[in-house]
Structure 1
Amino acid sequence: MTWLKNAWYVAGFKQELDDGKVVGRTFLGTPVVMLKHSDGRIAALEDLCPHRLMPLSAGRRVGDELQCSYHGMRFAVTGLCTLAPGQSQIPAQAAVRTFPLVQRHGLLWIWMGAAERADTALIPDIRWNEHPEWTPSRGYHHLEANFQLSVDNLMDLGHESWVHLRTIGQEDEEVIPNYPVQVTVKDEGLLYAHREMPNIDAPPFFAMVLNHQGKINRWQTAISLAPSICMTDFGVYPVGTSPDDAYRSHVLHLLTPETERSTHYFWSVARNRRLDDDALTQAVCHAIELTFNEDAAVLKVQQAQLEKHGGAVPRVAMKVDEAPIRARRMLQALVKKEADDPAFVYRPPLMIEDTTPALAMG
């Protein structure tokens, strides 16, 4: 599979460019360097000096310009060379490609395709990362696996009972695949996989956030929005209480391909309770780091196995694979449209709906 290029991808958290910081990352196989101008503009340039191909991120910032570490050439945020030491005339070819970069919802968004098609109205609404009614715990993982394996993992929450038993998984009597999942296509590129788990024991993470050791009701929806955003929308509440008072969370999985074998995984876990509890914010962050470390270990092995044995996964499709397979097919269809029609631009559904239990549980 190749990537969908004419689409917005998360490039980082907006505060990463504060205080004159310069950030170098690779997106969709292309090295990029990002910075903020003193006038507030943010910019993304190809991280490659046109002279002898040194990464500009390996140089230093001089005012609002980037200086190459090899021959001291300087480049403005527009990509134009402003200084070529040793000569007064600057060749017209001494310019660096730029990419549209904007801030929205507390995040940096980059467009790696045709710049003239970069419509900011196409940025999905994931407001929970920066919203007064929600408090986020944020972080980042670098995954040594193709981003599509990560999407598979996030759309198949049945693995939680084995990979995440120490954090969010259930014991053998209540393994997640035993609870039926309802898979629904909401729109082109948007898929929901909803599951309800009534009257279950509280896994460690949910016991912590609820401060409750008894039985709970739990619902969770795995959501895939092409090309590479996933969200786990869940709610938990003690048995005998109302779902209206549930601890709710939107877990944003913001996956941006780095290479065919690696992925940037920006995440934000936004909650609706105890908004000013800084200790809880840190505890959630720590717990999620442990949880996603477990995913990262599995995905690294899976990537290595695919490279060793070839082919694709799943080799044998199981019931838990319905949502991952359908999400893959939806993205493949979009990639094919882009390949077949140079004028095609994917227009994703901009609103991801909250989910709730279909029935009051327990």
Structure 2
Amino acid sequence: MSSFVKNAWYVAAWSREIGRHLTARTILGENLVFWRRQDGTPAVLVDRCPHKLAPLSIGTLVGDDLQCGYHGMTFSGSGQCVRIPGQAAIPPSACAQSFPLVERYGAVWIWMGDPALADAQHIVAVRHYGEPGWALVDGQYLHFDCNYLNITDNLVDPAHTTYVHKNTIGNAAAEDVSVKVEQGDNQVLAYRWVNDSEPVPLVKAMGNFTGPVDRWQYYYLHLPSVSCVDFGSIATGREHSEQEMDAGLRSFSYNFLTPETETTTHYFWLHLRNYHADSAEASTQVARLMTDTFLEDAAILALVQREQERTGVREFVRLGIDNAPARIRRLIARRQEAEQAATATSPAASQTAVA
């Protein structure tokens, strides 16, 4: 059974990636092709001509439409065939599947489930996006060689930062600090405060603290696969309030996980910070530090994926720090079951195939 949730918004690409050219990308195991119409709106179709199944991405744009590079069948952005060379009649089955798209936060989002449920209001809100005093690093992308659920496990696991990220956002001070977990209908939160401790390398590089700090890590996972990490430090002894946190060194790292296949994931991310907000040099340094951090995750998760595939086992023992990951997987499983039940009770959309 697929691990994918289809009734959800996923980042398909950064807006700058989609233009007046054809861009092929695999999402949720489906090969897709993207382009922009002449008015700038994005379009997407399954990357497969319904005639001989040639990839549409090897075709050509003709105005707003996509012409197949094999026999010249031409499709609108909605998937309807608008021309067949040498043939006036267009069969009803001569169509390619399209999907709802929305642009927000500099990204193109796609909905690959029931189009009737594609409400853009359900796209996760990015805190402080576009607000004065908050610097933005966006347009970032990595490719992970693992299932997206292994990444969501990692993104609600503050405990691993001590060992995996000791050169960037972690240190030994957090080794024995327990993690608290809260759960809502559509999100799981894992968090902790590490008090009266030495600043981690990133905070040392970017802050001006002269003594110990209280450091927080709030790991939000919005189902199925959008992560927000609220991370920062204040001088030890300050109140643990939103006002003091905003006055300290604070950042919000958003990670948009889009499953490519069952064993690979598109990892889009952006980062907002309230320190050195006008410094391009700081933005470059933050982008490098965060990329280094995520590459550390990617390396160890690729090894985890490989061993899971070899053994057929996800884990042999569960620890207390697995509370949040276990909750997420249960919630994901419920969504999958609900989608399957809805599909079973509704007329299936079919496309006539000729063997």
Assess same fold via TM > 0.5.
yes
Q: Residue 179 of structure 1 aligns with which residue?
A: 177
* In structure 2, C-alpha distance between the alignment counterparts of 1:343 and 1:304, rounded to whole Å: 34
CA distance in 2, matches of 1:177, 1:336: 37
Distance 1:142 1:252 in 2: 16
Tell me the CA shift for residue 61 of structure 1: 2.7
Q: Tell me the equivalent position of 2:234.
A: 237
Aligned pairs (5 A) from 1:68-79: 68-79=68-79
For structure 1, which segment, 284-293 or 211-220, has the greater mean C-alpha deviation from structure 2 after superposition?
Answer: 211-220
Q: Distance in 1 between matches of 2:26 and 2:133?
A: 33
Query: Alignment partner of 1:178: what SS?
Result: coil
State the TM-score, normalized to the length of structure 1: 0.86
Partners of 2:48 and 2:54 within 8 A in 1:
yes
Aligned to 1:188: 185
Query: 1:239 offset after TM fit, Å?
Result: 3.6
Structural mapping, 1:73-112, within 5 Å = 73-112=73-112
Give deviations 1:221-244, integer Å, cap 9, x for gaps.
111111111111112134466545
Secondary structure of 2:155's aligned partner: helix
Is the 2:12–2:109 contact (alpha carbons within 8 Å) kept by the matching residues of 1? yes
1:149-173: CA deviation from partner (whole Å, max 9, x where unpaired):
00001111211111112211203xx
Displacement over 6 Å in runs of 4+: none
Q: How many residues align?
A: 338
Alpha-carbon distance between aligned partners in 1 of 2:245 and 2:221, rounded to the nearest angstrom:
24
- Per-residue deviation, 1:302: 0.8
Distance in 2 between residues matched to 1:38 and 1:219, nearest whole Å: 47
After superposition, the Cα gap between the structure-2 partners of 1:244 and 1:67, relative to the gap in structure 1 and judged at 3 Å, is closer
Q: 1:32 to 1:127 in 2, by over 3 A?
A: farther
Distance in 2 separating the partners of 1:238 and 1:210: 11
* Counterpart secondary structure, 2:331: helix
* 1:10 to 2:7 alignment: no
AA aligned to 1:116 is: A
SS in 1 for 2:18: helix
Q: Does 1:147 align with 2:148?
A: yes
TM-score normalized by structure 2?
A: 0.88
Partner of 2:194: 197
Residue pair 2:127, 2:252 contacting (<8 A) in 1 also: no
1:335 — aligned with what? 336
Q: SS in structure 2 opposite 1:9?
A: strand
* Cα contact 2:159–2:179 (8 A) shared by 1: no
Identity score, percent: 38
2:270 and 2:245 map into 1 onto residues whose CA distance is: 23
Residue 313 of structure 2 corresponds to 311
User: Where do 5+ consecutive residues of structure 1 fail to align?
Assistant: 345-362
In structure 2, the gaps of 5 or more residues are: 239-243, 346-355
Contact 1:207 1:213 in 2 (8 A): no
Write the deviation string for residues 18-65 of structure 1: whole angstroms up to 9, x where unpaired: 4x2432211111111122211232212111112222222233333322
Q: RMSD across aligned C-alpha pairs, in angstroms?
A: 2.2
